[in-house]
Amino acid sequence: MKQLKSLLGLTLLGALMFTACSDKKEQKQTDASEIPVSREMLAELTSPPHVPTPVGRRKAKKLIVKMEILEKEGEMTDGVKYMYWTFGGTVPGSFIRTRVGDEVEFHLQNHPDNKLPHNIDMHAVTGPGGGAESSFVAPGHEKTFSFKTLNPGLYVYHCATAPVGMHIANGMYGLILVEPEGGLPPVDKEYYVMQGDFYTKGKNGERGLQPFDMQKAVDENADYVVFNGKVGALTGDNALTAKVGETVRLFVGNGGPGLVSSFHVIGEIFDKVHVEGGDLVNTNVQTTVIPAGGAAMVEFRVDVPGTFILVDHSIFRAFNKGALGMLKVEGEENKTIYSGEIRDDIYLPEGPGIQQMPTTDEIIASEIPAKSFEEQMEFGKQAYMQTCFACHQAEGQGIPNAFPPLAKSDYLNADVNRAIGIVLHGKTGEITVNGQKYNSVMTRQMLSPDEIANVLTYVYNSWGNNKTVVTKAMVEQVRNSK
Ligand SMILES: [Cu+2]
C-alpha cells in the first residue's frame, strides 16, 4: 500500500515536472519569436574552414543573407576533376552566423551560367520545407524569403531540389549557426569542418573529369569521403592551426548524402561536445557520431604540440577515401602530459617456448598456386612484406642482436630443408649466422605450404642468396618427415 502511494506520488510528480518542462519550452519559443529586431545588417559569410565573427552581445537584427549558387568544376584529388554544385562557390557552402531572435532575410541567387534550378532547406528554419518551397530558383533569378531564428544551435542547410540526393551529393550543403542570447562562450580558435561522401563513375583515384554515379549513391558505396569537399582540403599547407594552451571549437557538420560520421581527432579528447549541435553538452568524449544532415560543436584545449589528425573513425574512409584532416599545434612541449618516445626495446611475448599456433593443416590454402617462377617471386614478395618483413626487414638485413639477416645468410644457404623447417615450426635456441650469434625466438608462421614455397623462393632469389627454388612438394616433405 505504502509502495503504491509512493508510486502514485512519483507519477504525479513526474506529470507535474513534465508540464512544467513543456511550459518552459513553449515560453522560450514564444519569447524568441517576440524578440524585437533593431536595425538591418548584412551578414558576413565565410568560406570553410573559416567562420564569421561571433555575435557577442549584439541585439537581434534583421540580417540580410545573400547566397549565390555556383555550379563549377573543381579538383577532388590530384588529377581527378568533379563538377561541384555549391552555395557560395565552396563545398561546404558559406558559413552563416546568426543569433536567436534574428529575422533573416534570405536572398538565394542562381547564377545565370548555371544549368539547373535549385533551392535551400535550412534546418534552422521553422516553416514548410525549411524554406525550400519559397526559395526554388531558376538560373538567372533571385528568390527572397525571411524567417526568424527560434532555436539556438548548429544547423545544416542543403539543396532540396529533385533529385535531392544528387544535389546534396554534388556538394550543396553547409552550416548555419544560431547563437544563444549573449553568444557562445569565447574560445581562441574556431573552425568550420564538414564531411561529405562522393560517388563517381570511375573508382577512387581514376583520373579525369568524373561524373556523378547515381547507382553507387543509391547503394551508398562512396568513392570519396572527405572533409571540406575534397581530399586534402585540411592537410599539409591547408591544415588547421592552433598554439599550445589555446581552446579550439570545431563546428562540424555532415552533409552526407549517405554516410554517418564517427568524428574523432587522433591524440585529443573533446572536453565538450554539443551533441547533435544542440544544448546538450557531453564532456570527455573520444568520438562523436554526426548523422547525415546533422552537426556537432566540439571543443578542446590543446595542451601539447604536434599534428592532430581529424578522421571519420570508420577508418578506411580516413586512410583510403580521404576523410582525413590535420590540426597543427605549435608551442612548448609538456613532458608530463606526453613524454614522446623514451626507449625502443625488443618485445618478445612468447618467452622461451614457442607459441602454439594453428598447424599448417588447419590453415585453408586460400592462395591460387603460383604458375611460374615469376609468380612465385611476386607472391613470395607479398608474403614476405606481410609476415617476415617486421623482423627480418625490407632488404633481409635483419636487426643486429635481435633478428638474423636473411640477406647473404650462410645459415640459410647451407640447408634448404632446415630453412623450410624454421618457417614451418618456428625456431628457438642459439644459432650462428654470418659469424654472429643469435639466441632468440622466431614463432611458427601461419602460412600454407604454397606460401612457404613462394616466400622462401623469394628469399633465396634475393639479396645475394643461392637462388634455390622451393616447391610445395619440398615443403610437404619436410612437414611429413617430422
Ligand atoms: Cu540544387
pLDDT digits (tens, 9 = 90+) for 133-163: 999 999 999 999 999 999 999 999 999 999 9
- Ligand 1 centre and the CA of 198: distance in Å? 15
- Ligand 1 centre and the CA of 90: distance in Å? 14
Is residue 35 predicted with pLDDT exceeding 70? Answer: yes
122 pLDDT tier (thresholds 50, 70, 90)? very high
* Grid coordinates belonging to 77: 584529388
In the prediction, which pLDDT does 357 show?
A: 44
Kindly report the CA angle at 186 between 184 and 192, in degrees rounded to 5?
Answer: 75
The span from the CA of 371 to the CA of 262, in Å, is: 44
347 pLDDT tier (thresholds 50, 70, 90)? low
Q: Residue 206 corresponds to which amino acid? A: E
In tens, the pLDDT along 273-314 reads 999 999 999 999 999 999 999 999 999 999 999 999 999 999
pTM assigned to the model: 0.65
- Ligand 1 centre and the CA of 152: distance in Å? 26
110 strand-pairing partners = 69, 141
Q: CA dist 437 to 342, 390, 403, 445, Å?
A: 28, 20, 10, 22
- Ligand 1 centre and the CA of 234: distance in Å? 25
In the prediction, which pLDDT does 346 show?
A: 63
Residue 119 contacts by C-beta under 8 Å, 6 or more apart in sequence? 108, 129, 131, 132, 133, 135, 136, 137, 143, 159, 160, 161
Is residue 319 predicted with pLDDT exceeding 80? Answer: yes
- Ligand 1 centre and the CA of 144: distance in Å? 16
Which residues crowd ion ligand 1, with CB under 5 Å?
118, 159, 161, 167, 172
In the prediction, which pLDDT does 349 show?
A: 56
Q: What is the mean pLDDT of the chain?
A: 89
- Ligand 1 centre and the CA of 116: distance in Å? 7
In tens, the pLDDT along 48-85 reads 999 999 999 999 999 999 999 999 999 999 899 999 99
- Ligand 1 centre and the CA of 89: distance in Å? 13
DSSP secondary structure string for all residues of 196-216? EEE-BSSPTT--EEPPB-HHH
Identify which has the larger pLDDT, 342 or 311.
311
Sole residue written with cell 612457404:
452
The span from the CA of 316 to the CA of 312, in Å, is: 9
In the prediction, which pLDDT does 440 show?
A: 81
User: Quick one: how many helices (H) and strands (E) in the chain?
Assistant: 11, 23
- Ligand 1 centre and the CA of 274: distance in Å? 29
- Ligand 1 centre and the CA of 52: distance in Å? 24
In the prediction, which pLDDT does 337 show?
A: 87
Instruction: For the beta carbon of residue 371, count every other beta carbon within 10 angstroms.
Output: 8
In tens, the pLDDT along 378-434 reads 999 988 988 888 789 889 998 888 889 999 999 999 999 999 999 999 888 899 999
- Ligand 1 centre and the CA of 71: distance in Å? 9
- Ligand 1 centre and the CA of 174: distance in Å? 12
Q: Determine whether 17 is exposed, middle or buried from the number of CB atoms within 10 Å of its CB (0-12, 13-18, 19+).
A: exposed
- Ligand 1 centre and the CA of 70: distance in Å? 10
- Ligand 1 centre and the CA of 75: distance in Å? 19
Q: Residue 463 corresponds to which amino acid? A: W
DSSP secondary structure string for all residues of 392-423? H-TTS--BTTTB---TT-HHHHH-HHHHHHHH
- Ligand 1 centre and the CA of 167: distance in Å? 5
- Ligand 1 centre and the CA of 148: distance in Å? 23
In the prediction, which pLDDT does 9 show?
A: 44
DSSP secondary structure string for all residues of 62-88? EEEEEEEEEEEEEEEETTEEEEEEEES
342 pLDDT tier (thresholds 50, 70, 90)? confident
- Ligand 1 centre and the CA of 226: distance in Å? 20
In tens, the pLDDT along 179-197 reads 999 999 999 999 999 999 9
In tens, the pLDDT along 213-272 reads 999 999 999 999 999 999 999 999 999 999 999 999 999 999 999 999 999 999 999 999
The span from the CA of 261 to the CA of 331, in Å, is: 30
482 pLDDT tier (thresholds 50, 70, 90)? low
Give the mean model confidence (pLDDT) for residues 446-471: 95
- Ligand 1 centre and the CA of 149: distance in Å? 23
Q: Is the dihedral of CA 451, 454, 459, 465 positive or negative?
A: positive
Query: In the Cβ-directed half-sphere of 260, how many Cα atoms lie within 13 Å?
Result: 7
- Ligand 1 centre and the CA of 145: distance in Å? 17
* Grid coordinates belonging to 8: 502514485
Say what percent of the chain tops pLDDT 90: 76
- Ligand 1 centre and the CA of 121: distance in Å? 10
- Ligand 1 centre and the CA of 283: distance in Å? 37
